[in-house]
Amino acid sequence: MRYLTAGESHGPQLTTIIEGLPSLLPITAEKVNYDLKRRQGGHGRGRRMQIETDTVEIVSGVRHGKTLGSPVALVVTNDDWKHWTKIMGAEELPEDIDPSEIKRQISRPRPGHADLVGGMKYGHRDLRNVLERSSARETTVRVAVGSVAKALLNELGISIVAHVTEIVGIKADQNLLEGKSADEIRAIVEQDPCYCVDPEASAKMVEAIDEAKQAGDSIGGVVEVIVEGLPAGIGSYVHYDRKLDSKLAGAMLSINAFKGVEFGIGFEMARKKGSEVHDEILWDEEKGYTRATNRLGGLEGGMSTGMPIVVRGVMKPIPTLYKPLQSVDIETKEPFKASVERSDSCAVPAASIVAEHVIAWEIAKAIVEQFHSDQLPQLKAQLDEMRQYTKGF
């Protein structure tokens, strides 16, 4: 499976084409729109979320609610486009119009953004040409793609959920996850303003987000994605580029502003002995092989172990500040305060939704690559057979 996305933050639409989905997979715009709405939510979101109501249109590859096996194209229209038609239009400007008045040319790169280096790479003197594409707005259609992947995982008996574990040093009590399934965790976080399982920590997170907004600053945090029901043996120890943990790490770091990733207890492993890190192997007739613990996050040797996949990502504070940092004008080389675009004081809750969907895509992709997947019924049968095989191995 693979996909491409196209579109600018203030362009007419965001588009994606997905190739390689099995045929006969149930897909509806309603399910995708639910996930898009979640991405727009979470405490700390900025004014853009009040302007846009993201909804998807399925324009190819699906007939009467099921995939055909051909490429699936999804489109999300930008409602704000009507205010940007002259600024972002594809047509050449008329000769009687002053480009400087229409383009809102940006020559002051913002620290922490792609503005300066992107301008260098592609030769853009107007840095709007960079920020329009490097904007996290692009993650809208990646959530749509991930929503389709989640539909496939659901058919295969695999559940996935994301939640916020930390914002600006305020940590959720991870013990509250004990004994809860992915679906039970989802029921909790979908009712929480910070998508957090710990209501006490969430209340403090809300206060911290409001304080950052009042100060014209931004704050970051940590999100966690949990995948349940994945059979053992997905991925590979044989080839470096087929290791599942490598693919999941790359997916997490592909999200705007994400700067770190870990599995299981992650970097804590550096402070523990081997006997305190590795998961002892158990077996019983009902469950087959399990682990006494899950410190490695459901992955060994680049492969799934059958235990829940647990992957965490850290998001830096959003670099667009209403109290802007110093920068340099690329035209005059004079110091200036960096330019300001609409932004969020904290997008960690929303980013957890993006993380859930990019991880869902990689899990689904790894499954499709490993098994015959032209038709959904064939794929389901193979996954069931794999589960039975590994259980009695």
- Per-residue pLDDT tens for 303-335? 999 999 999 999 999 877 667 788 999 999 999
Measured CA to CA, the distance from residue 20 to residue 42 in angstroms comes to: 32
Question: Could you say which DSSP state residue 279 is in?
Answer: P
| Strand-pair category, 56-60 with 13-19 | unpaired
Token readout for 184 is 């039970």
39 annotated to bind ligand: yes
Q: Do the Cβ atoms of 363 and 357 come closer than 8 Å?
A: no
Check whether 49 has a pLDDT greater than 60. no
pLDDT digits (tens, 9 = 90+) for 206-263: 999 999 988 888 999 999 999 999 999 999 999 999 999 999 999 999 999 999 999 9
pLDDT given at position 369 = 95
pLDDT digits (tens, 9 = 90+) for 334-363: 998 765 555 678 999 999 999 999 999 999
pLDDT given at position 83 = 87
Q: Do the Cβ atoms of 127 and 11 come closer than 8 Å?
A: no
Token readout for 198 is 């710990």
Burial 224-253 (b: 16+ CB within 10 A, else e): bbbbbbbbbbbbbeeeeebbbbebbbebbe
Q: What is the 3-state secondary structure (H, E, C) of 127-150?
A: CHHHHHHHCHHHHHHHHHHHHHHH
67 annotated to bind ligand: no
pLDDT given at position 103 = 62
* Longest Cα separation, the chain: 80
Q: Do the Cβ atoms of 122 and 113 come closer than 8 Å?
A: no
pLDDT given at position 169 = 96
27 annotated to bind ligand: no
273 annotated to bind ligand: no
**Nearest alpha carbon to residue 160 among 306, 32, 261, 310:** 310
265 annotated to bind ligand: no
Which CATH number do you get for residue 343? 3.60.150.10
317 annotated to bind ligand: yes
**Nearest alpha carbon to residue 168 among 211, 220, 224, 203:** 220
Residue-number span of the structural domain to which 322 is assigned: 2-391
213 annotated to bind ligand: no
pLDDT digits (tens, 9 = 90+) for 82-140: 989 888 989 887 777 776 666 668 898 989 999 999 999 999 999 999 999 999 999 99
Mean pLDDT, range 370-378, rounded to an integer: 96
Q: Do the Cβ atoms of 204 and 221 come closer than 8 Å?
A: no
pLDDT given at position 345 = 87
Please return the burial class of 219, using the count of CB atoms within 10 Å of its CB with bins 0-12, 13-18 and 19+. buried
- CA triplet 247, 271, 269: central angle to 5 degrees? 25
Q: Is 333 helix (H, G, I), strand (E, B) or coil?
A: coil
Token readout for 234 is 């997905």
319 annotated to bind ligand: yes
149 annotated to bind ligand: no
pLDDT given at position 17 = 98
Measured CA to CA, the distance from residue 245 to residue 234 in angstroms comes to: 10
- Report pTM: 0.94
133 annotated to bind ligand: yes
Question: How many domains is the chain partitioned into structurally?
Answer: 1
Token readout for 10 is 């203030």
Mean pLDDT, range 34-52, rounded to an integer: 78
Amino acid at 94: P
